[in-house]
Amino acid sequence: MAAQHTILLVGESNVGKTHYGAQFLKRLMVKECALKMSGAPTNLEAFTTALGCLTEGKSTDHTPASTYVESVWPIVDAAGRYAELVWPDYGGEQIRNLVTHRRIPATWRERVIGATDWVLLIRLHSLRSEDDLFSRPLQSFVATESQGEAAAAYEPSDQARIVELLQMLLYAAQYQLDRRLPKPRLTILLSCWDELDTTELPANLLASRLPMLWSFVRSNWISPAVIGLSALERALSKTDADQEYAIRGPEEFGYVILPDGSKNTDITLPIQRLMADGV
Ligand SMILES: Nc1nc2c(ncn2[C@@H]2O[C@H](COP(=O)(O)OP(=O)(O)OP(=O)(O)O)[C@@H](O)[C@H]2O)c(=O)[nH]1
Ligand SMILES: [Mg+2]
Residue 18 alpha carbon to ligand 1 centre in Å: 7
**Residue-level pLDDT at 46:** 86
**Residue-level pLDDT at 277:** 74
Burial degree of 1 (CB within 10 A; 0-12, 13-18, 19+): exposed
Atom of ligand 1 nearest to the CA of 232: 31
Q: What is the CATH number of the domain that holds 161?
A: 3.40.50.300
Q: Distance (Å, rounded) from C-alpha 9 to C-alpha 31?
A: 23
pLDDT by residue (tens digit) across 24-60?
Answer: 999 999 877 999 999 999 999 989 999 999 999 999 9
Residue closest via CA to ligand 1's atom 27 equals 59
- Please name which ligand lies nearest the alpha carbon of 15: 1
Look up the domain containing 98 and give its range.
3-276
Identify the residues whose C-beta falls under 6 Å from ligand 1: 11, 13-19, 59, 62-63, 91-92, 192, 194-195, 230-232, 234-236
Query: Quick one: which of 12, 33, 10 has its CA closest to 251?
Result: 33
Atom of ligand 1 nearest to the CA of 63: 23
Mean residue pLDDT across the chain:
90
Atom of ligand 1 nearest to the CA of 21: 15
Residue closest via CA to ligand 1's atom 21 equals 14
Q: Distance (Å, rounded) from C-alpha 10 to C-alpha 95?
A: 7
Tell me the residues surrounding ligand 2 (ion) with CB < 5 Å. 17-18, 63
Pocket test for ligand 1, best of 14, 61, 238 (most atoms within 8 A of CB): 14
Atom of ligand 1 nearest to the CA of 254: 31
**Residue-level pLDDT at 143:** 59
Domain count, the chain: 1
pLDDT by residue (tens digit) across 141-155?
Answer: 665 555 555 555 667
- Specify the pairing of strand 3-10 against strand 35-37: unpaired
Query: Quick one: which of 206, 200, 185 has its CA closest to 273?
Result: 185
- Please name which ligand lies nearest the alpha carbon of 61: 1
Whether the predicted pLDDT of 257 surpasses 90? yes
Whether the predicted pLDDT of 139 surpasses 80? no
